[in-house]
Structure 1
Amino acid sequence: MPLTPAGPTVKQLIVLALPAVAVGAGSALVLWLLDIGSAWLQEQLWTTLPGLVGATGSTPWWIILTMTLIGAAVGLVVWLMPGHAGNDSAVGGLEGPPPPLLALPSLLIAVVLGLAGGVSLGPENPIMAINGALTVAVFARMSKAVPANLTVMLAASGTLGALFGTPVGAALAFTGTLAAVKGGGSLWDRLFLPLASASAGAITMHLLGAPTISFAVEPMTEVGGIDLLTGALVAGVAALAAIAIAWAFPYVHRAFHAMRNPLVFTTLGGLVLGILGAIGGPITMFKGLEETGELLANPDDYTVLQLVMFAVIKLIALLVAASAGFRGGRIFPMVFIGVAIGLVGHAVIPGMPISLAIACGALGTVLVATRDGWIALFVAAIIVGDPLVLPVMCVVILPVWLLVTRAPALEITAPEPAEPTTPAEPAEPARS
């Protein structure tokens, strides 16, 4: 039952709704298992093992040693295991063709090691690649009627729904993509299946008890004209901070990869991350979601200088982790950085509501990380859960987008494939 160019029919939507829900639930389950595995290993690395030698998870020498060894372990996986842990996560964004099935075991191991070991990257890029590869493989065996691009979209939608705990982010993320598709049909007809998959992913994660990215923050009581100015200021500063590492990204990535062997440059990256972690403490390590909650639980416990230090160290750690061959995404670390910058704005700008400051800080950094206004607005709004923040951010994002749109992207551009060469025709034998 191939989909028509004008969009899916009602019959096709009904028939494919159940597979879409199954894909979303399965994508969430894979993410949940990844979280469970990495959480168990994290407990061993940062609680059980240091306790055996009289250290703690925040002891500087333990942080440096552990992260260096994690870098070496990831380097060995990338170097020696079949599939080499898939593509470098630094190349491209969330979209992209899924890796071959052969690469999935090594990719899973590399991601779990990075998440548990304190590397400043999130799971989003690898888990979308893993779920996309699994979904395409399953659909290829079950049915040839569903296009591969649709199966990848369903897996991506389900994964986004599971990551953010709501299907709204996936719907917003794919609105622009689907609107650009040539052909007739209603946009909501085309969104129907991805939304079903994203909803299933979000609900499955809630049923499994996974934490959300929404935090309890004091809401705004009213919106004033000054809020547009202060919000744009905080978002602009956050965006500029993220643009700074986006500008440095290709140079740092090239410097690490000039060492050729993944064992060498990933071990070195682990050492640098360990030193940064020893300076900033555990709050500047890991993917950043739990650490964001730690910041927001008692924001008054941190001075402005501490918050600036957290943001700067996390920016450098994200740059190093993404450049040194670790597998992971950049959204969750950027959320932590944006929240830290937002808390600085709240502290130094008199009367600025804390929910607005946090949301605008996250808006600026996530906008640079994703180059997608919908995802940036969605993530920023859901973090604070304050409805009054949303109309302000819809205005704030306009000047910030002008700042971001011509800035370098926080990703490495894949090299263009070489032009195929035509083999020379054999010379015609000489006639006698």
Structure 2
Amino acid sequence: MSSTTSPSPDPIAVLRSKSYLGLLVLAALIGVPISAVAYYFLALVAALQELFFTTVPEALGSGTAPIWWPFIPLAVAGVFVALAIRYLPGKGGHSPADGFVMGGPPSGRMLPGVVLAALATLSLGVVLGPEAPLLALGAGLGALTVRLVKRDAPPQAQTMMAAAGSFAAISTLLGSPLTGAFLLMEASGLGGVSLGLVLMPGLLAAGIGSLVFIGLDAWTGLGTFSLAITDIPPFEAPNGVQFLWAVVIGLLAVPVGAGIRWLGVALRPHIERRMVLLMPVVGLGIAALAVGYAVISGRNASEVLFSGQNALGPFVANASDYTVGALLLLIVCKGLAYGLALSSFRGGPTFPALFIGAVGGAALSHLPGLPMITGVAMGIGAMSVVMLKLPLTSVLLPTLILAADGLTLMPLVIVAVVVAHVASARFTRRPPGLLAPPPHVPHEERKTHES
């Protein structure tokens, strides 16, 4: 086995090379179709959610969906996702219980399984978000494009175009292309002088992707599917009491997030052994939590179901209508449903964490010295970093989500995120199932190292 390693390329030389300029052109070109695919994927998810949770139950009933209805789509989701994981290549993508994992891009034959598992998860009410499937879809399409254009393209080119495809697919979902850049940078562990070389094609694709999302919204009227909230209460300036609250919220987020993650990781090996039989049972458990919340609180079961992406804005706008008891019940039911979903379904871990953090912050705002919007911002940041382990992204997310007040609230969010991140690393032990996988090594490169 050879112990020699090839020297790292000179970033300036790479930046000036014709091949890198060609990659930038290709990134700009693939940004358009991949962004369009991502846009219509999200539109399809929204349409299927409307079909399965409004149109069909209303047609079968007396004009309104019966309170027990979530049991049906959640059980069906368990069956379809289990079959996709078991019998289609790629196992439906990464397990969300592993956190936000950036592995190698899925091959073309894996993409159908990833898409079908994600569609069943997202459209049938499971408590996971669309960001992980979108990243996998964008990465797979980006790498596939390179292989189609040039079959002998070097592994680095495929990696960069996979990253560009991921950027384009998620360009506006998180509120800004910059958020996607931070997310992928932290999740993949990129760093050093070559960071800009990898990020630049992605940023170019993401910027074009944002324009595609805006243009398709103007053309179709289906929406931009962005998480950013514009209609929020004004916030003037932080004070000392709110900084103390930032410490408290950062500490409180740790046991909540650790408990959710523990539930998902603890259940996963048991469910994987008999997936087709047990995943519908998990779906029924999620439905039972949603129906129980609706019966006890008198509110809609959809607040527990789904990722929370679309519910976050309306919740923040109407947080004053919730009693403390309803907010605490929502945290318990949504948190347990989130943990169950992490154990076996396929989707992203980001949005349920953001929603639970916002609800927790709103609940704490009933105590003295904490304005509601401040608690929401700090709760979003703290829960995000506990679940994702990405501190820069967790600071940026609430800043961009709460667009009108985001910059003013940033110092408080930073304190909450840092406290939660440090406390989570110090006081919680990361289960073996959450250890990040080794960096993806292309097959050709692996054979070289082994020779």
TM-score, normalised by the number of residues in structure 1: 0.86
- 3-state SS of paired residue (2:310): helix
Q: 1:353 aligns with which of 365, 371, 376?
A: 371
* Post-superposition offset of 1:180: 5.3
Give the distance between the partners of 2:64 and 2:87, measured in 1 at CA. 30
What is the aligned partner in structure 1 of residue 72 from structure 2? 65
Change (3 A) 1:25 1:221: same
* Post-superposition offset of 1:92: 5.3
Provide the identity percentage.
24
| 1:217 and 2:232 aligned | yes
- 3-state SS of paired residue (2:170): helix
Give the distance between the partners of 1:82 and 1:101, measured in 2 at CA. 10
Q: 1:249 aligns with which of 261, 264, 268?
A: 264
* Post-superposition offset of 1:409: 5.0
| 1:170 and 2:180 aligned | yes
Question: Partner letter of residue 163 of structure 2?
Answer: M
**What CA deviation, in whole Å up to 9, does each residue of 1:272-295 have, x standing for no partner?**
111112112111111111111221
What is the aligned partner in structure 1 of residue 161 from structure 2? 151
Give the distance between the partners of 1:92 and 1:289, measured in 2 at CA. 18
* Post-superposition offset of 1:58: 5.2
What is the aligned partner in structure 1 of residue 10 from structure 2? 6
**What CA deviation, in whole Å up to 9, does each residue of 1:352-373 have, x standing for no partner?**
2222211100011110221111
| 1:291 and 2:311 aligned | yes
Q: 1:368 aligns with which of 386, 402, 407?
A: 386
**What CA deviation, in whole Å up to 9, does each residue of 1:300-343 have, x standing for no partner?**
111011111111111111110110x2110110111110110010
Change (3 A) 1:277 1:253: same
TM-score, normalised by the number of residues in structure 2: 0.83
* Post-superposition offset of 1:414: 7.3
| 1:334 and 2:353 aligned | yes
* Post-superposition offset of 1:190: 4.7
Change (3 A) 1:137 1:300: same
Q: Which deviates the most, 24-33 or 267-276?
A: 24-33
Change (3 A) 1:30 1:162: farther
What is the aligned partner in structure 2 of residue 402 from structure 1? 422
Give the distance between the partners of 2:323 and 2:354, measured in 1 at CA. 19
Give the distance between the partners of 1:193 and 1:4, measured in 2 at CA. 19
What is the aligned partner in structure 2 of residue 50 from structure 1? 57
* Post-superposition offset of 1:33: 1.6
**What CA deviation, in whole Å up to 9, does each residue of 1:141-191 have, x standing for no partner?**
213155222122212222332321411113323555798545x56x54553
Give the distance between the partners of 2:205 and 2:22, measured in 1 at CA. 14
* Post-superposition offset of 1:250: 1.9
Give the distance between the partners of 2:101 and 2:310, measured in 1 at CA. 22
What is the aligned partner in structure 2 of residue 16 from structure 1? 23
What is the aligned partner in structure 1 of residue 340 from structure 2? 320
Give the distance between the partners of 1:380 and 1:130, measured in 2 at CA. 25
* Post-superposition offset of 1:82: 5.0
Q: 1:277 aligns with which of 290, 299, 307?
A: 290
Give the distance between the partners of 1:232 and 1:198, measured in 2 at CA. 34
- The answer to whether the Cα contact below 8 Å between 2:242 and 2:369 also exists between their aligned partners in 1 is no
Give the distance between the partners of 1:306 and 1:102, measured in 2 at CA. 45
Change (3 A) 1:241 1:347: same
Change (3 A) 1:226 1:130: same
Question: Partner letter of residue 322 of structure 1?
Answer: L
Question: Partner letter of residue 355 of structure 1?
Answer: I
Q: Which deviates the most, 395-404 or 118-127?
A: 395-404
Q: 1:233 aligns with which of 241, 245, 248?
A: 248
What is the aligned partner in structure 2 of residue 429 from structure 1? none
- The answer to whether the Cα contact below 8 Å between 1:307 and 1:344 also exists between their aligned partners in 2 is yes
Give the distance between the partners of 2:387 and 2:63, measured in 1 at CA. 33
- The answer to whether the Cα contact below 8 Å between 1:235 and 1:396 also exists between their aligned partners in 2 is yes
Q: 2:114 aligns with which of 107, 129, 136?
A: 107
**What CA deviation, in whole Å up to 9, does each residue of 1:118-163 have, x standing for no partner?**
1000111122112211211110121315522212221222233232
- 3-state SS of paired residue (1:223): coil
What is the aligned partner in structure 2 of residue 262 from structure 1? 275
* Post-superposition offset of 1:204: 1.9
Q: 2:216 aligns with which of 187, 208, 219?
A: 208
Q: Please, what is the CA RMSD of the aligned residues?
A: 2.6
Question: Partner letter of residue 377 of structure 2?
Answer: A
Give the distance between the partners of 1:244 and 1:43, measured in 2 at CA. 31
Give the distance between the partners of 1:295 and 1:315, measured in 2 at CA. 16
- The answer to whether the Cα contact below 8 Å between 2:186 and 2:390 also exists between their aligned partners in 1 is no
Give the distance between the partners of 1:58 and 1:297, measured in 2 at CA. 25
* Post-superposition offset of 1:223: 2.1
Change (3 A) 1:180 1:81: closer
Give the distance between the partners of 1:105 and 1:57, measured in 2 at CA. 34
Change (3 A) 1:339 1:179: closer
What is the aligned partner in structure 2 of residue 424 from structure 1? none
Give the distance between the partners of 2:64 and 2:282, measured in 1 at CA. 19
Structure 2 unpaired stretches of 5+? 1-6, 218-223, 294-300, 439-451
What is the aligned partner in structure 2 of residue 194 from structure 1? 202
**What CA deviation, in whole Å up to 9, does each residue of 1:52-75 have, x standing for no partner?**
221667533211122112222222
